[in-house]
Amino acid sequence: MIGLAVRTLRHRKGAFAGAFVALLCAAALVCACLMLLETGLRGAVAPERYAGTPLVVAADQYVRQSVDKGKGKTKTKAKPLTERAWLPASAAAELRRAPGVSKVITEVTFPFGGFIGHGWESAGLTPFTIAEGREPRAAGEVVVDARAGLAVGGTLRGRRVVGVTAQALPSQDTVFLSTAEARRLAGRPDLVSAVGVFASGDVPLPSGAVAYTGDERGRLEFLDAEQARVSLISMGGALAGTSLLVAILVVVGTFALSVQQRHRELALLRAVAATPKQVRRLVSGEALLVGVAAGALGAGAGLGVGVWLHATFVALGTTPANLRLVVSPFPPLVAFLATLGSALVAARVSARRIARIRPVEALGEAALDRGRLPWWRAVAGIACVAGGVVLALVLSGLRTEAAATPVTMLTALVWTVAVTLLGPLLARAAARVLPLRAAGVSGFLAARNLRATPAGLASVLSPLTLLVAMTCTILFAPATVGQAALEQAGEGLRAGHVVVGADAATVADVPGVEAVTPVLRTTVRVGLDKFSAQALAYDPRTVDLGVTEGSMDRFAADGVAVSTAAAARLEIGVGDPLRLTLGDGTPARLTVAALYARGLGFGELTLPYELVPGHVDDASGALLVSAPTLDADALAAALPDGAELSGASGPSVGGGANQQATLVALGLIIAFTAIAVVNTVAMATSGRVRELAALRLAGTTKRQVLRMLRLETLGAALVAAALGTGIALVTLAAFGAGMTGSAVPYVPVGTYALVIAAATGLALLATSVPARLALRVRPAAAVASR
């Protein structure tokens, strides 16, 4: 049968071109997503600043929790901290006394504008040496690196440049201050961020300290790289799974259309005594050959897509440039095997019906499309509808984007699979209600065609519905959360301005300023679960959190306000204790003072301001300013030098660069689905050459034939838009109910119209081009050749 399959492919290249393209794109997409996953699991970060230090000792940069697994067994789980954990300065003295230690270098690190600041005592970690000038000694002096473009005698942020180093680090701009000034600016005079140790043997570690060697030094130096690894693991895994499910759906549909177009050929084989097993082996052999070729090429192309994705994430700032992309045989091998398996499954499912009918009925079955739905397909379709309902109910109870996003994609996919399985029934119903007859002769022909061949309409409906449903879900799910956050922030902000780069007391002294509230954004963990948080000195003249229970009057140094959504997750209420871990790993025990409704606009937890500045890497924050009698120009003129003024707004809730990266990756799925639409519609049109030729022989003009095809496609696009929109609305309503508390999604009309227009335009383009090529063939020759 393989030999016959080879000859079939050789003489019917067009029939298999669509399946080849679908499989190739599927392999590339799955391979690229798996590369992200593997980079998250195995990616390493080479040290830069710590490259010259064999051993770096620092605090544990993870939150750890022991979980009871029963039968006396426990397992320790760990999650990375979002801020740097620091060590007591006394740890350096303890390390100096350890046997075999020849040198100990302490380090403090802190943001310094667009630079990373350090004390000069830590220059030997890299090492940095002075190329011009001298080291800093006083509070107003600074040494810059070789890339800064400044010379001795210049100024940087109000400080005089007294030296320039001979070195510069590849991915960070470095400045050095005097040791005392650096510790003052870091705000932690009794702590150090790390200790470099030079020793001849093993070194006993102080309590709470962790040793970092090799590439582990890079993970300590670049904490954002560790957080990026975690993001890549979750994103790569979710996208790889979604891509594979989409690929299977697309490939099954493409193969089904290919086999449907060859019913007459396969029926003839049954009529000349080919057994069902032989027919299945033939179709499987064809799928095997196409799958091997497409899988190999697609997996190779996927390596390039993976490299592009990684570079895009680096450009967006979600992945550090020094988190190297892992390239190994694993992603292309898995993509190849997954693609090949999808092809074989699709071929077996597609050939099931024609292989099982009796030989004497084969040609009649091929000639007439009754639009019947096999019992197993009807049962599977109903099961998918039930699964979609269950997933929607589950989704409506999820209140974190990390949990809701993969379920959202899965929900939309399951509903689309239900539409695909029940496609012939839906197509028959649609063909009866579409008002095509009003469009003259072409409309009459289009309506008769859709009624006579519901399977053909169903094959086009599936990818079009998938495109509309997935695109709307991907675009409007984050838009729904973002709009709810903007609305909550707009309702809750009483301040008219935001000031950064100024001291609260200084701004409060400006005439006309009524109230000033300092705000810091951070994240905390309760157990191992991460929550967004803000720290502020609460003042109802600048902020209204929408308190629903309790009172902010009880919000003191040991109090915490919790959003209603976070309180439901944590199962706590007013007066309950809350143990949490601050961003740098410091534990805190607070009491819930109030619950508030505007968690999307202001963060899930609100902490007392004085609790947080000593536990974040950047304590500059912002000031919410209420000055009813001052306009923006008057307030800006009264601010000190270096302060910046902007209109008041809530915290960034839309996800920023991380959300952009997710949209880029999900955009590949949309692109793949769009290719599937073009692919399927073009295959469906190309397979009707004989039919179009017969219409031409019967006296129909080319213009009428083209108009008929366009009307059929417009009808299919209209039905697919309705089905895809319905799927997206059900999914988004469940998503919104869980994430925002409202089942009404935010759908920008203009964006939605562009989605529908793009899907319709792609379908029309995929219809018109092959139709015009088919109509170039003389009708008599086309009928005879078929």
Quote the tokens at residue 113: 């504008």
Q: Domain tally for the chain?
A: 4
**Gap between the Cα atoms of 50 and 195, Å rounded:** 10
Pairing of strands 159-165, 141-144: parallel
Inside any domain, residue 217: no
**pLDDT above 60 (res 655):** no
Residues 551 and 608 in one domain: yes
Helices 702-739 and 423-433 cross at an angle (nearest 10°) of 120
Type and span of the H or E element at 387 = helix 375-395
Label residue 75 exposed, middle or buried (CB < 10 Å: 0-12, 13-18, 19+): exposed
Residues 90 and 8 in one domain: no
**pLDDT above 80 (res 192):** yes
**Gap between the Cα atoms of 476 and 755, Å rounded:** 11
Q: How confident is the model at residue 652 (pLDDT cuts 50, 70, 90)?
A: very low
Residues 140 and 28 in one domain: no
Helices 749-775 and 656-686 cross at an angle (nearest 10°) of 30
Residues 774 and 697 in one domain: yes
Quote the tokens at residue 81: 């901290």
Domain end point (choices 593, 616, 647): 647
Residues 66 and 40 in one domain: no
Domain end point (choices 588, 619, 647): 647
Label residue 153 exposed, middle or buried (CB < 10 Å: 0-12, 13-18, 19+): exposed
State if pTM tops 0.75.
yes
How do residues 168-182 score in pLDDT, each as one tens digit?
998 889 999 999 999
Alpha-carbon dihedral angle through residues 336, 340, 342, 346, given to the nearest 10 degrees? 160
> Which amino acid does the sequence have at 586?
T
Rg (alpha carbons) of the chain, rounded to whole number: 32
Q: Which domain holds residue 599?
A: 494-647
Q: How confident is the model at residue 656 (pLDDT cuts 50, 70, 90)?
A: low
Inside any domain, residue 659: no
**What is the structure's pLDDT at 277?**
76
Inside any domain, residue 428: yes
Average pLDDT for the chain: 85
Residues 715 and 776 in one domain: yes
Q: How confident is the model at residue 597 (pLDDT cuts 50, 70, 90)?
A: very high
Domain end point (choices 595, 616, 647): 647
DSSP state of 323: B
Residues 203 and 72 in one domain: yes
Bin 187: left if φ > 0, else alpha if -120 < ψ < 50, else beta: left
Inside any domain, residue 653: no
Residues 229 and 363 in one domain: yes
Label residue 452 exposed, middle or buried (CB < 10 Å: 0-12, 13-18, 19+): middle
Residues 344 and 276 in one domain: yes
**Gap between the Cα atoms of 192 and 182, Å rounded:** 11
**Gap between the Cα atoms of 313 and 316, Å rounded:** 5
- Residue 611 phi/psi, 5-degree rounding, is -80, -25
Inside any domain, residue 535: yes
Average pLDDT over residues 627-654: 73
| In the chain, % of residues over pLDDT 90 | 44
**pLDDT above 80 (res 745):** yes
**What is the structure's pLDDT at 306?**
92
**pLDDT above 90 (res 92):** yes
Half-sphere exposure (Cβ direction) of 299: Cα atoms closer than 13 Å: 19
**pLDDT above 80 (res 452):** no
Residues 193 and 66 in one domain: yes
Q: How confident is the model at residue 484 (pLDDT cuts 50, 70, 90)?
A: very high
Inside any domain, residue 656: no
Inside any domain, residue 749: yes
How do residues 403-423 score in pLDDT, each as one tens digit?
888 899 999 999 999 998 898
Inside any domain, residue 658: no
Residues 511 and 635 in one domain: yes
Q: How confident is the model at residue 665 (pLDDT cuts 50, 70, 90)?
A: confident
**What is the structure's pLDDT at 357?**
62
Q: Measuring CA to CA, how many Å separate 648 from each of 209, 501, 626, 636? A: 42, 15, 10, 14
Residues 272 and 297 in one domain: yes
Type and span of the H or E element at 106 = strand 101-107
**What is the structure's pLDDT at 777?**
62
How do residues 14-26 score in pLDDT, each as one tens digit?
556 777 888 888 8
